[in-house]
Structure 1
Amino acid sequence: MTTHHTPALPSGAPSVKAGRAALASTDPLRADVHHWSDPVNEDERMAFWTEAATLLDWETPWEQTHSWVPPNPAIRRGPEISWYQGGTLNAAVNCVDRHVAAGRGERIALHFEGEPGDREDVSYAELGRRVNQAANALTDMGITRGDRVVVYLPVLVETIVITLACARIGAVHSLVFGGFSAEALKFRVEDTGAKLLVTTDGQYRRGKAVPVKANADAAVAEAAVEHGGDLEHVLVIRRTDSAVEWTPGRDLWWHEVVETASTEHSPEFFDAETELFIMYTSGTTGKPKGLVHTTGGYLTGALYTYLRLFAHPDPARRANDVHWCTADLAWVTAHTYEIYGPLAAGATQVIFEGTPNTPHEGRHFEIIERHRVSTYYTAPTLVRSLMGWFPDGVPQHYDLSSIRLAGTVGEAVNPEAWQWIRRQIGRDTTDDAGQPALPMVDTWWQSESGSTVLSPRPEDAGFTRPGLKPGAASREMPGWGAAVVDDAGRPVPAGTQGNIVLTATGPSMARTVWGSPERYYSSYWEKYADQGWFLAGDGARRDEDGDLWILGRIDDVINISGHRLSTIEIESALISHPDVVEAGVCPVFDEMTGHAAVAFTVLTTAARERLDAAGGAGSDAERELLSALRSHVGEVIGPVAKPRSVIPVPEVPKTRSGKIMRRLLTQLHDGETLGDTTSLQNEPCVPKIEEICQRRGTAPRREEVAT
């Protein structure tokens, strides 16, 4: 195997010796990236990513744009990936300082909406002052370059402040969803070897103040220095005035050590390949993987794709954009399109602490109206919830006319949800015939890729390109390559399901798994090591027009009597029925066919009330509805796709990114030992589903086979 190097700067790009001014000559708020040409060969791809990097401010120009050492099966190591080698920069300077220096310090960076109704507008100048205070406080606590900081917070201004402060001093941050259990937090603290944990006294959840620090205390009990661990301090934000236990010397109040620190701070500049953050994936089996993202490449990918997907195509009108990515800040989507991408672009955005139905189901629409949100980026699972809450459509008294573009992320969006967004949230954007015309960008990407890989472009998303389809992830973003292949690496025919692989990756790609380079290889690169392709783990098909459709995780494909069926396709069929809000379909054991499909369905409020009035679970009315749902799937897809059982449940288990944990549903149904559930956003639903499965006795008894 050979090492592949690519040149630093192609013809027309700034010279290596040109200095910082030339490399910072492109104002991201005014950059017309929508008209950049798509690369058609490797030289053009490198020229493209070179140009994209000039959207950032570099203290030192890079010497080489990209180098790649292919995967090595002999030593079981993934590729060695480097971008912008020799270049130095600071992520926090790119997200804050440069906008203040450009005279835009009073521009609003963050419209904060707290769950109890408290609000705050934070300018770029004020954000810079707070980040500087936090950076000074971190330094005073002994945090230096390369140290790990675990952040266990909800969506607060302080969460973004501490994240950028870590980047400013070269510490590696790892954000953890504030609703995770003590066990999930403990794993991340210990796996990273964190020196500092940042948390709150409590958090607001669904209208209540919930104590949180006790979870933090339990998580770090064995990680502290006195027990042989690395953790030295717990930094606590006072949010709810909840009572807390206190360990003198270890525990520190944010308002005492951060808000009293100096607002002046001189940043350091770090090599482009300096680790920026560790993002943990979640799964139902095995421990989570800590994906390592580095500074220069990740920030380039985040900024370019934010501008290409969400910024107004006309730079002259971009100053009026208000972006809202609804993800929790601990999710990679929020890292890229709620922290680093929008802030590097100098954008204004909304951040929201609460749940979408607290104190009522119209909370999101109130926020859109109040802040004149123009781009709304959310998860299909939330859209389906809104569909259930508002079966007659979004009430007309909400002013949603500011919405210019909507996007989805997390799982492939169901066509019904795609259409609902355009028809309801985009109701003020119609074509000459009065039909919905809101541009929709359904983005497909992963924690591993760091930024969007597949998406319709905004210039295509309003059906200006003939044949754009609801639910299709569409085409590769510039600078990325993807293919759909079989297990041997051969391209599959159009319309045939295969494995989606990345044949060319962008600079935002994760470099390794923290502490486990062998796992990075075995999880992503081993299957197609000879070709140097990244195995994404999703099934997909490319249609006759060349558009890509994501069909769910490879291990979520159900093989019934030789027929390979996608769980997402069956779920979409169920959701198209008026009585179903959400569905999770999983493969279960079947002694006749090997596998069968079982559908866990969340019914609409109206359907539940109708069944309760007719006798509830086990009634003739319920049996009639479940039979109708099975038949509906048969009509939409075909008889072979009919679920063997349809089981009503209050909700289906999901990760924080909104992905349905289908393997967990299989384990619950078949009575198997459960995998890790600590990373779920709704872990309390697990015992409820388990009780329903036991009560219904839906799993057939397996015959013991003598060996």
Structure 2
Amino acid sequence: MSEGDVVPTAGPVVVEAHQVVTYPPPTKLFEKHPSKPHIDGMSQYESMYKESITEPEKFWGKHAREHLTWSKDFQTVHSGNLNNGDNAWFVEGELNASYNCVDRHAFKNPDKAAIIYEADEPNEGRTLTYGELLREVCKTAHVLKQMGVQKGDTVAIYLPMIPEALVAFLACSRIGAVHSVVFAGFSSDSLRDRVNDAKSKVVITSDEGKRGGKVIATKKIVDDALKQCPGVTGCLVYQRTGADVPWTTGRDWWWHEEVEKWPAYIAPEPMNSEDPLFLLYTSGSTGKPKGLMHSTGGYLLGAAMTGKYVFDMHDTDKFFCAGDVGWVTGHTYVVYAPLLLGIATVVFEGTPAYPNFSRYWDTIEKHGITQFYVAPTALRLLKRAGDQHITAQMKTLRVLGTVGEPIAPDVWKWYHDTVGKKECQVIDTYWQTETGSHVVTPLAGVTPTKPGSASLPFFGIEPAIIDPVSGKEVAGNDVEGVLAFKHAWPSMARTVWGAHKRYMETYLTVYPGYYFTGDGAGRDHDGYYWIRGRVDDVVNVSGHRLSTAEIEAALIEHAAVAEAAVVGVADDLTGQAVNAFVSIKDGNEINDQLRKDLILQVRKSIGPFAAPKTIIIVTDLPKTRSGKIMRRILRKILAGEEDSLGDITTLSDPSVVEQIIQTVKSGRAQK
């Protein structure tokens, strides 16, 4: 090499970090503030974070006693470890979730707003105070006891976004029952599987639900599911619309009739810190949904502390999380975090587009909301609809949160500049059903933020970037790999219900000594984290994790389908969209009707939100010689990356790949 030759220097690994500017917390946030943020700047965050990693027992013990009310104190802060999957927190302690969310606030200020119900029709909502909430919860708890529910039993909840959904959560936890909430968009088959897996004795539902001007036949869906749920002895039905619904005498009970029979107080059941609080099913890469079990003490502490420090919740705040209680976002940030902190929480029944695209902004204005929390999917929809819908001043707003998937920098900037008028801080939170509460996130009023980055770890979370090939941790900054955590934290899920081996294999033995998130990530030159999406066979549609195996199983139920392979592809609106490659058995006619039937099959088997956006019918799928379908190849073909498929000569029939490429190209040409 001559002296004049220049060796090209490699560019940064985490390129995204160099394409954006860093935003300090807006000055206006402090001017609007009722007092000041709970944490006084980055130096205090850093000292608290250091204590949470180097002296975790001291840190968590102090915060558990500060944020929760215990009927019996604990002596042991933490036992167990990630290697053995036996983590337990605040071991001897006893407390009750319902008491912590309701009673202690109702005794102090019974007339304070607890639930702001924003009904589907804008003029039909109402507000429940903490005093009213306590009475409703106690009456409903009495009814559940009369229905035979005992401490440790599971109760399935299949309700729309109405205040009674929160009442049902809290009535269960008051008597020591384990709630298992199923999103009221799941099909009867999905509900049946979850009810049976959890062995729920009672199901709580409504006659119907309302969403976006449409009616959802919740009771009919429950009736269809219960035909194959022999363990269910009772069904409690809230009257939402007053429609005539099928009735099974002896099994079905009307909520409004039963609550009138019982007094408005029942003592809360003392629960051990490690007793189950709830089960929540999440999609697994094997196809069978996993019932993740969260404990009482640790989960409640995670909810309370992230509500307080991430969203900077203060006593007079009104919090609006637009998530549904059927998902973990609704559990933690519609129900538990705001109520644990004694503030008002919005229960939003409708959609962002009904009756028009200004619904969120009008709701914020109407109720004087201080923090708003929503998935990037909704923001993409509203950005596309146009800025003319943002007429509300929203002067009380301080914090704009996002959840469910990484937010693209252009959407982040629109959210910050146009919705927040550069006066609110955008808080891009990273967490999972399994983590219980935020794990990598900015803190409002504290953390400088970068559009597209989840920023820095929450207290007690020590992230590691792992090289997926060697399985070793990658040290330093400007690195990428898969994201794992080095230590247990209080709000992590304790097990998969009835399948602890699966819990270990999914999260704890992939990289022994670490919790494996299943997500790829980069750590930039400043130590900020950038989440890159799933590294397993899960797609993220509108912030909902869907198992490709579960959708494939639904497609294969159709008599015409020989094989199916499902992959996620980038989508401007939903983040990712489900695309299904299907090979058809001989003798079946291939036409548009078949494609429609296959989409309907998935809707029926799982629910409308899992329906494939595109069905691509092919003669065969790319498989290894051992029969494994190579979804990676299908993803690359859909992304137009035919040139970088790698070595396909090891496939059982490499010619299949070229056929699929031509099928995809001709499908695009027809569009």
The correspondence for 2:205, drawn from 199, 222, 225, is 199
Give the conservation status (yes or no) of the 8 Å contact 2:312–2:445: no
Give the conservation status (yes or no) of the 8 Å contact 2:316–2:343: no
| Equivalent residue, structure 1, for 2:659 | none
The Cα shift of 1:452 comes to 0.4
The Cα shift of 1:679 comes to 8.7
| Equivalent residue, structure 2, for 1:240 | 241
Letter in 1 for 2:453: A
Residue pairs, 1:374-393, within 5 angstroms:
374-390=370-386, 393=387
Say if 2:506 is the partner of 1:523.
yes
The correspondence for 1:704, drawn from 630, 641, 653, is 653
| Equivalent residue, structure 1, for 2:118 | 113
Letter in 2 for 1:156: I
Give the conservation status (yes or no) of the 8 Å contact 1:153–1:198: yes
CA deviation vs aligned residue, 1:337-381 (integer Å, no higher than 9, x gap)? 111111010011211111111111111111011001110011011
Q: Distance in 2 between matches of 1:505 and 1:676?
A: 37
| Equivalent residue, structure 2, for 1:422 | 416
The correspondence for 2:343, drawn from 330, 343, 347, is 347
The Cα shift of 1:458 comes to 1.3
Distance 1:30 1:668, change over 3 A: farther
The correspondence for 2:76, drawn from 64, 69, 74, is 64
Q: Distance in 1 between matches of 2:571 and 2:492?
A: 35
The Cα shift of 1:490 comes to 2.6
CA deviation vs aligned residue, 1:238-272 (integer Å, no higher than 9, x gap)? 11222211111011111111243210211121110
| Equivalent residue, structure 2, for 1:563 | none
Give the conservation status (yes or no) of the 8 Å contact 1:198–1:235: yes
Give the conservation status (yes or no) of the 8 Å contact 2:238–2:255: yes
Residue pairs, 1:411-560, within 5 angstroms:
411-427=405-421, 436-461=422-447, 463=448, 468-487=449-468, 488-491=471-474, 494-529=477-512, 532-555=513-536
Distance 1:333 1:684, change over 3 A: closer
| Equivalent residue, structure 2, for 1:215 | 221
The correspondence for 1:171, drawn from 155, 174, 177, is 177
What TM-score comes out, normalization by structure 2 length? 0.77
Residue pairs, 1:65-104, within 5 angstroms:
65-72=77-84, 79-102=85-108, 104=109
Letter in 2 for 1:547: Y
| Equivalent residue, structure 2, for 1:38 | 48
| Equivalent residue, structure 1, for 2:290 | 289
Give the conservation status (yes or no) of the 8 Å contact 1:405–1:438: yes
The Cα shift of 1:44 comes to 2.1
Q: Distance in 1 between matches of 2:182 and 2:502?
A: 21
SS for the counterpart of 1:85 is: coil
The Cα shift of 1:284 comes to 6.5
CA deviation vs aligned residue, 1:44-97 (integer Å, no higher than 9, x gap)? 22211112101111001001000014435xxxxxx1010001110000000000
Q: Distance in 1 between matches of 2:390 and 2:64?
A: 44
SS for the counterpart of 2:445 is: helix
Say if 2:133 is the partner of 1:184.
no
The correspondence for 2:358, drawn from 358, 362, 366, is 362
Q: Distance in 2 between matches of 1:355 and 1:669?
A: 36
SS for the counterpart of 1:305 is: helix
| Equivalent residue, structure 2, for 1:611 | none
Give the conservation status (yes or no) of the 8 Å contact 1:283–1:676: no
Q: Distance in 2 between matches of 1:286 and 1:259?
A: 43
Q: Distance in 2 between matches of 1:47 and 1:668?
A: 55
Letter in 1 for 2:488: T
| Equivalent residue, structure 2, for 1:623 | none
The Cα shift of 1:160 comes to 0.2
| Equivalent residue, structure 2, for 1:622 | none
CA RMSD of superposed structures (Å)? 3.3
Say if 2:59 is the partner of 1:48.
yes
Give the conservation status (yes or no) of the 8 Å contact 1:114–1:354: yes
More contact order relative to length (CA 8 Å, sep ≥ 6): 2
Letter in 2 for 1:665: N
Letter in 2 for 1:357: A
Q: Distance in 1 between matches of 2:607 and 2:532?
A: 23
The correspondence for 1:401, drawn from 395, 399, 412, is 395
Give the conservation status (yes or no) of the 8 Å contact 1:135–1:165: yes
Distance 1:678 1:331, change over 3 A: farther
Distance 1:667 1:306, change over 3 A: farther
The Cα shift of 1:493 comes to 5.7
Distance 1:69 1:550, change over 3 A: closer
Say if 2:257 is the partner of 1:274.
no
CA deviation vs aligned residue, 1:610-657 (integer Å, no higher than 9, x gap)? xxxxxxxxxxxxxxxxxxxxxxxxxxxxxxxxxxxxxxxxx75xxxxx
Q: Distance in 2 between matches of 1:680 and 1:98?
A: 40
Letter in 2 for 1:297: G
Q: Distance in 2 between matches of 1:555 and 1:218?
A: 33
Unmatched tracts of structure 2, length 5 or more: 1-34, 549-564, 586-594, 620-633, 643-647, 656-671
Give the conservation status (yes or no) of the 8 Å contact 1:401–1:426: no
Give the conservation status (yes or no) of the 8 Å contact 1:403–1:425: no
What TM-score comes out, normalization by structure 1 length? 0.73
Q: Distance in 2 between matches of 1:494 and 1:457?
A: 21
Letter in 1 for 2:152: G
SS for the counterpart of 1:448 is: coil
The Cα shift of 1:685 comes to 4.7
CA deviation vs aligned residue, 1:471-495 (integer Å, no higher than 9, x gap)? 1111111111111111322316643
